[in-house]
Structure 1
Amino acid sequence: MFSAVKKSISAKPSFQEIQTNILAGLTVGVIALPLSMALAIASGVPPQHGLYTAMIAGIVIALCGGSKVNISGPTAAFVVILLPIVQQFGLGGLLLSGLMAGVILLLMGLGKLGKLIEIVPYPVTVGFTAGIGVVIATFQIKDFFGLEVAAGGEHYLEKLSHIAQALTSINWQETLIGALTLAVLLAWPRLKSKVPAHLAALLVGALIAWIMTQMVNGFSVATIGSRFHYELDGLLGSGIPPIMPSFEWPWNLPGADGQPIGMSFELVRELLPSAITIAILGALESLLCAVVADGMSGKKHNPNDELIGQGLGNMLVPLFGGIPATAAIARTAANVKAGGSMPLASVVHGLFILAGILLLAPLLSYIPMASMAALLLVVAWNMSEAKHFARTLKVAPRDDVLILVLCFALTVLFDMTIAVAVGMGLAAMLFIRRSISLTDARAVETNHQAYEVPESVVVYDINGPLFFGSAHKALKTIALVRPDVRVVILDMSEVTLLDMSAIVAMESIAQDLSSKKVALIINNLQPRMLLKLRRAGIRKRRGQVEYARTMDDSFALARRMTAQG
């Protein structure tokens, strides 16, 4: 635990490495500043909460996590989970669910579950990330075109219907600024400039909107300053409060009705499914990001320490107004490309965000909402991984395609909680079915004369794991022995697993064979599984149940049993 902190303290980086990491942190800070605001707005909360997240999570998780180069903060993956929470439980409910998710992540890390997270099937991941991209893009239509959308509608189809009905209210001024911002976002990468595309696009959008407002009579667009307000020492302000985040318990913050949400078991119970989803998605995102970063940087992360760091960060962030955080792949990749190799880069990135809050708050208020919507449209497109989605549809087995489409549809039409639960459930069922097909029990043709055993001795070769899915299938044929059989030998040399369902099945077979006066010999079962059978009561009984280490020993026992019979 805290290995990243120990390594960062014990290591002695050169001045050049320190300088490079500081510059990398500043580069990532420039990228994260507008993205953090945009993702907070998309999640249904004022933009400063995204900045608080990037600042605090970026520092805490970098120092306590298992990756030296991961950059953590708000991400697009969380938007479809957080927005419904805000609508139903308000800011207080959102921050409380984030705190609960942090506890779950911490327990996952302490429980050494970092490796288990990596087994989530590819179709599940692609399905819900593509669905998230579609939902995010759909919800940006309102601000991009300046639509007057009717309030209400909890589900995607209802909101989509409201957006469609509002298309007649398109505002050409908002659309113009959104289109110009989107054009710069798409064209800027071709210039191969070191200035990030989204920073250039937002600057162009804000500058053109300000010039048009000054020069064209009646020209007006919604901005961060006009959309969001705050109260400071009894005075009302617009945009982002230029102060450091302050400590506050989440349950003292307002719920959906504007009153403090409070703390109760009922509230925790209602928020628990969302908290679990946040934790699972946060774990997936952070560990996937760490794997990508390892490939780019040549370093090795500790998955369990990374989960512990993510847990501590998400437990601390809500206490200062921050929304749930996880490692961000795009920002981490930018960090590695800029030369970031130590947690110092993420710390500098967090300090840059703090400086932006304190010094640039008035200027950030001029950013148009249409420009933020254009930025999120590009984020949604990149997240959707359309090429990977289409490729999976073409080349994946039918079962995987079904899981992909189902996870995508559930994410879009319902929510991430259902999509992740159903997707993981289907993937588990598919895995069990495929595992069952690998396990079998077949009668082996035995040269009875060579081994000097009578025809009344039969041998069954059992291969693969025996668990609740495969035990019945593999063992049911053993009970169907010929009337003349007197000894059954089970060659279990290749049995790799034995669970309680298999033990019960074995017990049933032993009893059934005993009732037919047929002896059972269990050959070469691994000692740890042999102990399980003995604890369950399947012990050696002379003439009924015997254990052997080799097939020669088994045939010798069979000869004695048939001779005695």
Structure 2
Amino acid sequence: MKWTGRFAGYNAESFRRDCLSGLIVGIIAIPLGMAFAIASGVKPEYGIYTTIIAGILISMFGGSRFQIGGPTGAFIPILFGVVMQYGYENLLIAGFLAGIMLVLMGLCRMGGLIRFIPRPVTIGFTTGIAVIIFSGQIANFLGLRDIQKHEDFLSNMKEIGMHLSTVNVYSVITAGICLAVILITPRLFPNVPGSLAGLVISSVVAALLFEGKVATIGSTFGPIPSTLPSFHFPDVTLERIGQLLVPAFTIAMLGGIESLLSAVVADGMTGTRHNSNRELIGQGIANMAAPLFGGIPATGAIARTATNIKNGAVSPMAGIIHGLVVLLVLMLFAPYASHIPLASMAPILMVVAWNMSERREFFHVLQSKTSDSVVLLVTFLLTVFTNLTTAVEIGLILAVILFVKRMGELITVHKVLPDPSSKHAKVRPHMVTEGHDCPQISIFTVEGALFFGAASTFEQSVMRTLQHRPKILLLRMGKVPFMDTTGESKLASVVKTWKNNGGMVLISGIQSQPREVLKRTGLYAYIGEQHFFDHTGDAINFALARLDQNRCAGCRHFAFRECAGLSNPELSPKQANPDMHPAHQV
């Protein structure tokens, strides 16, 4: 059998490596799946179901060879908010709708849009999510009792403060043991998953020494079933769809961003290239299927994907095996999971939050003290104190506004004249002075994109010259790479005003994109094809031949080489211009 595509060159050795990697990642995924589910406000087994179903389907249908999918920390604030506001059943519907949206995004080839999300926005909301996850585990770490969970950060912090007197020493010891093992294990036993070792050791200690004194999964959520739930299609109504469209869109957007970021990380580690649109479709299929078996939304998990690669994965088979490993563990060891203390789960999520916080990048951007710092800080604060949807929306809007402002400031419009001291009489801004400026020809060099954020600057700079009633306007546009309809409108306004005052507009060096815009709008024809030149020198020669020589007589500006002869027609051409050149080469 000949393998093609993502399985090209696949053989028995590849399968062995995939089995080893899948086994390791599967073991790592089990405590994470349960922890993410608990933090999201649902039963721990729902995280296991998601790991199995979504993990297998993302590997089968996704666009990355190495992607490991499942529940992730990034989803915790969103899912917790949906559960608090709408309930678990509606969370399943929101996840299903998000899956449909992801499939549509992939079919519409929107996978490449990830590169347009500014880095300060992603760092801001990722760090904000990390703060929410970390702070959300303080109560379990300390074993606080009678805690009421709220949707907003400040209310949860107030709740913790009000119940600090209920600290459970046994929970703190259990959590401390788990945290210590998680931190020490990678140094002593690099190949052993620290989260699993911490979970097992702290659970055993709690069972032997603190039985009945710390809250467990079983005492809080009941026993974990050892089988997958039966197929169940949620009760979908138009009213529910209307209520859940915004949460579903938020889940879809975050899922798409996280999965594509994870795929990019995998590409960087392996030198491969993922298919972003296929990845979105795969994520969509997984998120449509998982809710049908009680699973919560899933996406690509960066840490587990990196672990998959580091342990020698070759193909998507590793991700499929990882899901099968979790299924096998569920069937064989589910009863034992009920004895896991909640205090043992807290350090796992705290470490996840710490690792995902991107703290170095966060402080690096802040220290730059640029507009990116503002975008980062606003996105971070809104993520923590409001919600992710608001944070991303305002963060993106702010980033766009600041980007447009920066781009608008980059455009330069300089009035220029030839510099006779340069080799080919290149035009320079410094040549234009009060006593040295042609009254009939105004030459402007325009540099930068002529778009809505800069078009007014261009128009105002050029129109100031009109008060001197020059006959000809020459625009040097060789350094205008882009023009939008607003830029075209402002240019059209200048051209029409100039023509209405009896003048003429010439354009030199225009690039292909602005030229096409002018042709589509009809401005190119209005200006006249004969008024477009490849070189400024040709345009100047054209303009000089059409001057009002009566205005030239007696002029002492001498802006061009030819001006001496035009100012005093009695001089011979050689006398008027001893350095005659057949054409300007500017």
1:398-413 alignment, distance < 5 Å: 398-413=370-385
Bigger Cα displacement from structure 2, 100-109 vs 512-521? 100-109
**Alignment match of 1:529 (pick from 514, 517, 524):** 514
Distance 1:149 1:512, change over 3 A: farther
Distance 1:246 1:518, change over 3 A: farther
Q: Report the residue type matching 2:301 in the other structure.
A: A
**Alignment match of 1:132 (pick from 122, 129, 132):** 129
CA contact (8 A) 1:65 1:310 kept: yes
Instruction: Give the structure 2 partner of residue 461 of structure 1.
Output: 445
CA contact (8 A) 1:149 1:162 kept: no
Instruction: Give the structure 1 partner of residue 394 of structure 2.
Output: 422
CA contact (8 A) 2:482 2:513 kept: no
Q: Distance in 2 between matches of 1:391 and 1:142?
A: 31
1:6-21 alignment, distance < 5 Å: 7-8=5-6, 11-21=8-18
1:442 aligns with 2:414: yes
1:191 aligns with 2:188: yes
C-alpha deviation, 1:197, in angstroms: 0.7
Q: Distance in 2 between matches of 1:508 and 1:519?
A: 13
Gaps of 5+ in 2: 427-436, 551-586
1:56 aligns with 2:53: yes
C-alpha deviation, 1:512, in angstroms: 1.6
1:312-327 alignment, distance < 5 Å: 312-327=285-300
Instruction: Give the structure 1 partner of residue 197 of structure 2.
Output: 200
Aligned to 1:445, the other structure's residue is in SS state strand
**Alignment match of 2:217 (pick from 224, 242, 254):** 224
Runs of 4+ aligned residues of structure 1 deviating over 4 Å after TM superposition are 447-451, 541-545
Instruction: Give the structure 2 partner of residue 67 of structure 1.
Output: 64
Q: Kindly provide the CA deviation profile for residues 409-463 of structure 1, in whole angstroms up to 9, marking residues without a partner as x.
A: 1111111111111111111122212222222222122369989x97511211112
Instruction: Give the structure 2 partner of residue 115 of structure 1.
Output: 112
Q: Larger relative contact order (C-alpha < 8 A, sep ≥ 6)? A: 1
Aligned to 1:480, the other structure's residue is in SS state helix
1:351 aligns with 2:324: yes
C-alpha deviation, 1:532, in angstroms: 2.5
CA contact (8 A) 1:66 1:301 kept: yes
1:77 aligns with 2:74: yes
Q: Report the residue type matching 2:172 in the other structure.
A: T
Distance 1:511 1:190, change over 3 A: same
C-alpha deviation, 1:539, in angstroms: 4.3
CA contact (8 A) 1:221 1:368 kept: yes
Distance 1:291 1:154, change over 3 A: closer
**Alignment match of 1:508 (pick from 470, 493, 505):** 493
Aligned to 1:118, the other structure's residue is in SS state helix
Q: Distance in 1 between matches of 2:304 and 2:497?
A: 63
Q: Distance in 2 between matches of 1:425 and 1:321?
A: 36
Q: Distance in 2 between matches of 1:155 and 1:241?
A: 32
Gaps of 5+ in 1: 230-237, 253-261
CA contact (8 A) 1:446 1:459 kept: no
Identity value in percent: 40
Aligned to 2:262, the other structure's residue is in SS state helix
Instruction: Give the structure 2 partner of residue 368 of structure 1.
Output: 341
Q: Kindly provide the CA deviation profile for residues 217-262 of structure 1, in whole angstroms up to 9, marking residues without a partner as x.
A: xx42211112113xxxxxxxx2x22222332223x2xxxxxxxxx4
Q: Distance in 1 between matches of 2:240 and 2:379?
A: 28
Count residues with an aligned counterpart.
Answer: 534
Instruction: Give the structure 2 partner of residue 102 of structure 1.
Output: 99
Aligned to 1:246, the other structure's residue is in SS state coil
Distance 1:519 1:544, change over 3 A: farther
Bigger Cα displacement from structure 2, 331-340 vs 502-511? 502-511
1:494 aligns with 2:479: yes
Q: Distance in 1 between matches of 2:65 and 2:46?
A: 25
**Alignment match of 1:263 (pick from 216, 237, 243):** 237
Distance 1:545 1:162, change over 3 A: farther
Distance 1:82 1:542, change over 3 A: closer
CA contact (8 A) 1:108 1:307 kept: yes
Distance 1:454 1:139, change over 3 A: closer
Q: Report the residue type matching 2:393 in the other structure.
A: A
Q: Report the residue type matching 2:218 in the other structure.
A: G
Instruction: Give the structure 1 partner of residue 257 of structure 2.
Output: 284
Q: Kindly provide the CA deviation profile for residues 305-332 of structure 1, in whole angstroms up to 9, marking residues without a partner as x.
A: 2222222222222222221111111111
CA contact (8 A) 1:521 1:554 kept: yes
Aligned to 1:475, the other structure's residue is in SS state helix
Q: Report the residue type matching 2:189 in the other structure.
A: K
Aligned to 2:87, the other structure's residue is in SS state helix
Instruction: Give the structure 1 partner of residue 430 of structure 2.
Output: none
C-alpha RMSD of the superposition: 2.5
User: What is the TM-score normalised by the length of structure 1?
Assistant: 0.89
